[in-house]
C-alpha cells in the first residue's frame, strides 16, 4: 500500500447518512478463480512471418497466385442450360512447386451425393430457407412446402455439371479426379514457382430454379407474362469451374463448398463472350467490349448522356422492356465483356430488363468516372426506378471515404430471384413491388428499407471481400461483419429515420441467448449466421469506433486496413493487428471478448455511497455530527406519545435541570481543540497543506460499486445527475477491469451533490440488462402485448402506400344463436 492511499484511508470516514461501508458486493479474486481479460492475443494469433508481418501488413515476401480466364458461353433459353469452353492460365507466383491444381466445381454441390446435400439436417438450425423449428421447440419438425418443392425439383432435374472435359493447350485430355464439388487436376509436369500453365475446360450444366433450390443464382420464371410460355430472368454465378485459392497460410483452400461458407478465390483477368437470345439485355462483370454489336444507336446515345446526368437515365425504358417481354426470337447475339484484376465473374440475362444508368464522378486518377447501373423487370417498379442506382452511387461515396477509390468502371444492381448476392462490379438484389387489382404497384416501408439496404450492402461487398479479399469460406464475419458495419454507416447517412437495425441494442437478445458460438467459428459451423456473422461483428466495430477509439483513431486504422489489403488476402490476425497498430490502442481484450468468446455485456451499478472528509477539527466535525443527528427522522413511538397527549417528565418538572440540559453531547471543549492542534503540529508540511486544502474545498466523495455480470469487459459509460439538475457524462476505459474483471469500485470527487448515476445512458455498449444500470433503481417502462402480433402486421411491414386507399367499411355483425 503506498503512502498517499494510507493518508486517504486515515482521513476519510463514512458520512453517517449512509450505512457503513460493506464490501459484500465486491467479488474477491481468489487463487484459481482469476481470469485475465487483458491477456495478449499473440498467444492465439499465428506467428508473424515474411508473408504477413507483426504489424498486420503484407510481409516483404508476400505473394499470391493469379488465374486468367477466357470463356465462350452459350445460354440455351428453352433448355435453361449453359454450355461453355474456357481457357485457364494459371500463374504460380508462390515459391513452391505444384504437382496438381485444385478446381472448384460449385454446381456439383447440388448433386444428391455431395457432402452439402448428404448432410442437410432435418428441421435443424442453419437450414437456408424456411426453417421448420427452432432449437428449443419440443414438438417434432414438419416438412414445409418450400422443402417439398426443393425435393421435387431435385427429383425432376439433374443438378451439377453434366459435362467436364479437361485438356491441355494442344487438346490432349489431362488426368483429373473429381471429389464432390472439387476437381484435382494432375499436371503433366510440376509447375515451378514463377511459371504459368494453360489448359482448357469444356463444361455444361442445367440452370437451377433459384426459388426452388436457393443457390445464390439460377433462373426465375414469370408464367404470367404476355409472351407464350412466359419469360425468365437468368442470374449466373458460381457457373464456371474456378481454380481454388492457394495461399501462404493454408496452401490449397480445398475445403469443399457446403453451401454456407462462400468463395475464396484468386484475382485474375477475364475475357468472356456470352451468347444469348438477341432480344436479351445482359448485365455482367466487366466492360462491354462490343457495344456496336449488341446495343442500338439510341441506347449508346443514352449511355453517353447518363455519364453526366443528375438522375439515372434509361438505356432501356419501362415501355421498351414491356414491349420486349411480349415476344421472343430465335436469333442470338454475343456480348463480350473484359474485366481486369477481379476475383470472380457473374452475369445476368433477360428480355424483361429495363436498364438505367448514372455516372458517378468520383475523381482521382484511377477511375474518375464509374457508371452506376440497374437492371430490373417491371416487377421492380418505382422502387427500383427511384432508389436502386442512387443507392449504388451513395454506397460508392461512403465506402470510398472509408477505404479507397472504387477501382472498377461499373457498379451494377440487378433484380432477380436472389435476395442479395455480390460479385465484382455486379450484385443481385431481390426486393419487389406488389401489383394490385386497381392496376397500381405499391411497396411497404419494409421493402423500401430492404431495397436501399440490400443495394448498399451488396455493392459494399465489392469492396469487402471482392477487393479486400478475405477468406469467406472460413470467416463469414470478415466480409459480412465488416460490410454490415459500413452499410450501417451508409444507411444512417442515407436516412436515419429508416430503422436499419445496426445499433448496439439490436444484438442484445442474441448476445444473452444460449444458441451461439464465438464469432471466430468457421462459417459452416456457425449456429445463427445472421446475428453471429453480420450483426454482432458490425455492432462490435460500431462500439469500437464510437465508444472505445473514437472516430478519428478508428477511421484512420480502418482505412489503413483497407488500403494495406486491397487486391490482397487478409486473415483475421491481419485485421486485428492493423487496427491495433494504427490506432495505438491495445485492443487484445476487445478482440478476445467479442470475437473469441460468447460473453455478453452486462455492467450493473450495485451501490453508490458517500464518503465525507473527517477534518479532525472538533469545531467542524462535532457540529456536522450534531446536524446529522437532527436530520434523522423522529421516532414514531415518541410522535405517537405526543399525539396521545402524554406529557414528558422533563416538561412537567422544569425546575429540575442541569449542565446537560443546556449543552448537548456534541459540545466542543479545549481538550479536543488541543488534541487537534497537536495533530496539526505533528503533520509534515505537505500533509498539512493537503488536509487544509481539502477542508477548505469541502468536496463530496462518492464510491460507486460495479459488477460485471455478462463477462465481457467494456468501458463504463456513466451519466451523473446532480441535485442542482445538471448532468455530466464520463467514460471509464475498459482497463478498469484488468485486475478485477468481476467487480470494481470507483471514486467520484465532486463539488456537487449527486442525485443519481446511470450506466450506458445512450445504450451504446449492447448492455443486455438495463434494469441494473440505474442507481437508485428505476421502474423500467415496458409494453404489455395482449395479442401476439403477427410478422406482417408490424408497422414497417404494412403496405401503407396501398392501404391508404382503403374505404371505411361498417363492421360485419356476427349473428349468434339464441
Provide the binding-site residues for Zn ion, judged by CB under 5 A: 480
From the CB of 457, what's the least distance to Zn ion, in Å? 6
**What phi, psi does 776 have (nearest 5°)?**
-65, 160
Rounded Cα distance between 691 and 709, Å, is 38
CA distances for 237 relative to 72, 103, 424, 470, 774, angstroms:
15, 16, 11, 19, 52
* Contact between 393 and 461 (Cβ < 8 Å): no
Number of H helices, E strands in the chain: 24, 33
DSSP-derived 3-state class of residue 210: helix
C-alpha cell at 601: 455485456
Task: Give me the residue whose beta carbon is nearest to Zn ion.
Answer: 480
Smaller CB separation from Zn ion, 260 or 351 = 260
Helix axes 482-494, 536-543, angle to 10 degrees: 70
Q: For residues 285-307, b (16+ Cβ closer than 10 Å) or e, as one string? A: bbbbeeeeebbeeebeebbeebe
Smallest gap from residue 388 Cβ to Zn ion (A)? 17
CA-based torsion, 544, 548, 550, 554: positive or negative:
negative
Closer Cβ to Zn ion, 379 or 480, answer by number: 480
Give whichever of 421 and 736 is closer to Zn ion, judged by the CB atom.
Answer: 421
The upper half-sphere exposure of residue 427, i.e. CA atoms within 13 Å in the direction of its Cβ, equals 35
Nearer to Zn ion, 220 or 480 (CB): 480
Task: Decide whether 480 or 524 has the Cβ nearer to Zn ion.
Answer: 480
Min CB(261)–Zn ion separation in Å? 13
Return the number of the residue (428 or 589) whose C-beta is nearest Zn ion. 428
Nearer residue to Zn ion within complex by CB, 472 or 758:
472
Contact 290, 351 (CB under 8 A): no
Q: How far apart are CA 267 and CA 276, in angstroms?
A: 27
As a residue count, the chain comes to 818
Q: What's the closest the beta carbon of residue 286 comes to Zn ion, in angstroms?
A: 22
Nearer to Zn ion, 160 or 481 (CB): 481
| Shortest Cβ 477–Zn ion spacing (Å) | 11
Q: How far is the CB of 553 from Zn ion (least distance, A)?
A: 27
Q: Which residues lie closer than 8 Å to 328 by C-beta, 6 or more apart?
A: 227, 277, 279, 351
HEC states along 103-134?
A: EECHHHHHCCCCHHHHCCCCCCCCCCCCCCCC
From the CB of 534, what's the least distance to Zn ion, in Å? 7
For residues 484 and 583, which CB has a smaller minimum distance to Zn ion in the complex?
A: 484
Residue partners of 216: CB distance under 8 A and separation at least 6: 210, 237, 238, 418, 421, 428
> Taking a C-beta distance cutoff of 8 angstroms, is the pair 653, 697 a contact?
no
- Written as nine digits, the cell of 200 is 482448357
Q: Closest distance between Zn ion and the C-beta of residue 490, in Å? A: 13
Of 447 and 480, nearer to Zn ion (C-beta) is 480
Shortest CB 482 distance to Zn ion, Å: 10
Cα gap 184→196, rounded to integer Å: 17
Q: Residue 460 Cβ, how far from Zn ion at the closest point, in Å?
A: 8
Pairing relation of β-strands 743-750 and 700-708? antiparallel
Q: Between β-strands 716-722 and 754-759, what pairing exists: parallel, antiparallel or unpaired? A: antiparallel
Taking the complex as a whole, the smallest distance from the CB of residue 596 to Zn ion amounts, in Å, to: 23
Specify the residue, 480 or 767, whose C-beta has the smaller distance to Zn ion: 480
Nearest of 715, 750, 485, 452 to residue 603 by alpha carbon: 715
Q: Supply the DSSP symbol for 11.
A: H
Q: Which is nearer to Zn ion, 77 or 480 (CB)?
A: 480
How far is the C-alpha of 447 from the C-alpha of 500, rounded, in Å?
Answer: 12
Nearest Cα to Cα of residue 735 among 9, 28, 38: 38
Question: Of 480 and 581, which has the nearer Cβ to Zn ion?
Answer: 480
User: Are 744 and 486 contacting, i.e. CB atoms less than 8 angstroms apart?
Assistant: no
Residue 214 or residue 351: which is nearer to Zn ion going by CB? 214
- Write down the least CB distance from residue 262 to Zn ion, Å: 9
Least Cβ distance, residue 418 to Zn ion (angstroms)? 12
Give min distance, CB of 510 to Zn ion, in A.
Answer: 18
How far from 523 is each of 81, 295, 505, 747, CA to CA, in Å? Answer: 30, 42, 24, 45
Q: Which is nearer to Zn ion, 474 or 708 (CB)?
A: 474
Q: Which is nearer to Zn ion, 482 or 744 (CB)?
A: 482
Residue 325 or 480 having the CB closest to Zn ion: 480
Shortest distance, position 543 Cβ to Zn ion, whole Å: 20
CB of 421 vs Zn ion, minimal distance in Å: 8
Smallest distance from Zn ion to CB 476, Å: 9
Element (H, E) at 756: strand 754-759
Q: Find, among 334, 207, 358, 363, the residue nearest to 272 by Cα.
A: 334
Largest CA distance in the chain: 131
Q: Give kind and range of the element (H or E) at residue 732.
A: strand 727-732
Pairwise CA distance, residues 766 & 742, whole Å: 18
The helix or strand, by DSSP H or E, that contains position 361, with its residue range, turns out to be strand 354-361
Q: How far is the CB of 438 from Zn ion (least distance, A)?
A: 36
Q: Choose between 562 and 613: whose C-beta lies nearer to Zn ion.
A: 562
Distance between start and end Cα atoms, the chain: 87
Please choose, from the candidates 605, 610, 606, 604, the residue with its C-alpha nearest in 3D space to the C-alpha of residue 19. Answer: 610
**Residue appearing with cell numbers 438522375:** 311
**Residues ≥6 apart with Cβ < 8 Å to 445:** 498, 795, 796, 797, 798, 800
Amino acid at each position: 500500500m503506498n503512502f498517499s492511499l494510507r493518508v486517504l484511508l486515515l482521513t476519510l470516514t463514512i458520512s453517517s447518512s449512509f450505512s457503513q461501508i460493506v464490501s459484500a458486493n465486491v467479488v474477491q479474486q481468489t487463487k484459481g478463480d482469476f481470469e485475465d481479460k487483458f491477456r495478449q492475443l499473440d498467444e492465439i494469433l499465428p506467428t508473424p512471418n515474411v508473408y504477413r508481418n507483426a504489424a498486420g501488413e503484407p510481409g516483404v515476401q508476400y505473394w499470391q497466385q493469379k488465374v486468367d480466364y477466357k470463356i465462350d458461353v452459350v445460354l440455351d433459353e428453352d433448355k435453361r442450360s449453359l454450355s461453355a469452353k474456357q481457357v485457364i492460365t494459371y500463374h504460380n507466383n508462390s515459391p513452391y512447386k505444384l504437382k496438381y491444381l485444385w478446381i472448384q466445381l460449385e454446381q456439383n454441390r447440388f448433386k444428391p451425393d455431395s457432402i452439402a446435400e448428404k448432410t442437410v439436417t432435418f428441421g435443424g438450425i442453419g437450414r437456408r430457407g424456411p426453417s421448420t423449428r427452432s432449437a428449443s421447440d419440443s414438438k417434432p419438425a414438419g416438412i414445409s412446402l418450400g422443402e417439398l418443392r426443393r425435393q421435387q425439383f431435385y427429383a425432376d432435374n439433374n443438378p451439377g455439371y453434366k459435362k467436364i472435359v479437361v485438356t491441355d493447350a494442344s487438346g490432349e485430355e489431362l488426368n483429373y479426379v473429381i471429389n464432390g464439388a472439387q476437381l484435382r487436376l494432375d499436371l503433366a509436369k510440376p509447375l515451378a514457382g514463377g511459371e504459368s500453365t494453360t489448359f482448357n475446360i469444356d463444361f455444361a450444366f442445367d440452370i437451377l430454379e433459384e426459388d426452388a433450390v436457393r443457390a445464390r443464382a439460377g433462373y426465375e420464371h414469370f408464367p404470367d407474362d404476355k409472351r407464350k410460355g412466359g419469360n425468365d430472368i437468368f442470374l449466373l454465378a458460381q457457373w464456371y469451374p474456378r481454380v481454388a485459392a492457394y495461399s501462404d497460410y493454408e496452401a490449397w483452400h480445398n475445403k469443399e463448398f457446403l453451401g454456407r461458407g462462400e468463395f475464396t478465390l484468386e484475382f485474375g483477368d477475364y475475357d468472356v463472350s456470352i451468347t444469348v437470345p438477341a432480344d436479351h439485355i445482359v448485365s455482367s462483370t466487366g466492360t462491354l467490349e462490343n457495344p456496336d454489336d449488341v446495343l442500338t444507336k439510341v441506347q449508346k446515345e443514352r449511355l453517353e448522356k447518363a455519364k453526366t446526368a443528375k438522375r439515372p437515365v434509361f438505356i432501356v425504358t419501362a415501355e421498351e422492356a414491356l414491349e420486349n417481354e411480349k415476344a421472343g426470337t430465335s436469333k442470338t447475339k454475343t456480348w463480350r465483356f473484359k474485366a481486369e484484376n477481379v476475383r470472380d465473374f457473374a452475369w445476368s440475362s433477360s428480355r424483361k430488363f429495363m436498364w438505367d444508368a448514372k455516372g458517378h464522378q468520383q475523381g482521382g486518377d484511377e477511375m474518375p468516372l464509374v457508371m452506376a447501373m440497374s437492371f430490373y423487370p417491371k416487377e421492380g417498379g418505382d422502387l427500383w426506378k427511384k432508389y436502386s442506382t442512387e443507392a449504388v452511387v451513395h454506397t460508392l461515396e461512403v465506402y470510398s471515404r472509408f477505404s479507397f477509390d472504387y477501382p472498377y468502371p461499373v457498379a451494377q444492381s440487378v433484380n432477380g430471384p436472389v435476395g442479395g448476392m455480390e460479385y465484382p462490379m455486379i450484385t443481385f438484389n431481390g426486393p419487389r413491388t406488389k401489383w394490385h387489382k386497381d392496376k397500381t404497384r405499391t411497396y411497404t416501408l419494409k421493402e423500401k428499407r430492404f431495397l436501399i439496404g440490400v443495394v448498399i450492402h451488396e455493392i459494399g461487398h465489392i469492396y469487402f471481400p471482392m477487393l479486400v479479399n478475405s477468406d469467406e469460406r472460413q470467416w463469414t464475419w470478415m466480409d459480412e461483419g465488416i460490410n454490415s458495419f459500413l452499410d450501417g454507416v451508409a444507411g444512417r447517412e442515407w436516412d436515419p429515420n429508416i430503422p436499419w437495425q445496426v445499433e448496439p441494442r439490436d444484438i442484445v437478445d442474441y448476445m444473452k441467448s444460449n444458441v451461439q458460438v464465438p464469432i471466430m467459428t468457421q462459417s459452416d459451423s456457425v449456429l445463427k449466421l445472421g446475428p453471429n456473422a453480420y450483426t454482432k461483428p458490425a455492432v462490435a466495430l460500431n462500439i469500437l469506433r464510437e465508444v472505445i477509439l473514437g472516430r478519428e483513431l478508428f477511421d484512420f486504422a480502418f482505412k489503413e486496413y483497407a488500403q494495406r489489403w486491397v487486391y490482397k488476402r487478409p486473415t483475421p490476425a491481419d485485421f486485428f493487428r492493423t487496427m491495433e497498430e494504427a490506432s495505438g490502442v491495445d485492443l487484445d481484450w476487445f478482440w478476445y471478448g467479442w470475437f473469441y468468446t460468447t460473453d455478453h455485456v452486462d455492467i450493473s451499478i450495485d451501490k453508490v455511497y458517500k464518503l465525507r472528509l473527517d477534518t479532525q477539527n472538533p469545531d467542524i466535525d462535532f457540529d456536522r455530527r450534531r446536524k446529522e443527528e437532527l436530520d434523522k427522522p423522529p421516532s414514531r413511538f415518541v410522535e405517537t406519545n405526543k399525539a396521545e397527549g402524554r406529557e414528558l417528565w422533563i416538561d412537567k418538572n422544569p425546575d429540575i435541570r442541569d449542565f446537560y440540559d443546556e449543552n448537548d453531547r456534541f459540545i466542543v471543549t479545549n481538550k479536543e481543540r488541543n488534541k487537534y492542534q497537536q495533530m496539526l503540529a505533528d503533520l509534515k508540511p505537505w500533509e498539512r497543506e493537503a488536509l487544509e486544502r481539502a477542508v477548505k474545498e469541502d468536496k463530496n466523495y462518492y464510491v460507486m460499486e460495479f459488477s460485471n455480470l455478462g463477462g465481457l469487459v467494456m468501458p463504463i459509460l456513466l451519466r451523473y445527475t446532480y441535485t442542482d439538475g445538471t448532468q455530466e457524462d464520463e467514460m471509464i476505459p475498459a482497463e478498469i477491469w484488468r485486475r478485477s474483471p468481476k467487480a470494481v469500485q470507483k471514486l467520484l470527487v465532486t463539488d456537487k451533490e449527486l442525485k443519481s448515476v446511470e450506466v450506458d445512458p445512450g445504450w451504446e455498449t449492447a448492455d443486455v440488462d438495463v434494469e441494473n444500470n440505474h442507481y437508485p433503481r428505476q421502474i423500467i417502462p415496458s409494453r404489455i402485448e395482449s395479442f401476439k402480433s403477427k410478422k406482417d402486421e408490424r408497422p414497417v411491414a404494412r403496405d401503407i402506400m396501398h392501404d391508404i386507399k382503403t374505404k371505411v367499411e361498417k363492421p360485419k355483425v356476427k349473428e349468434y344463436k339464441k
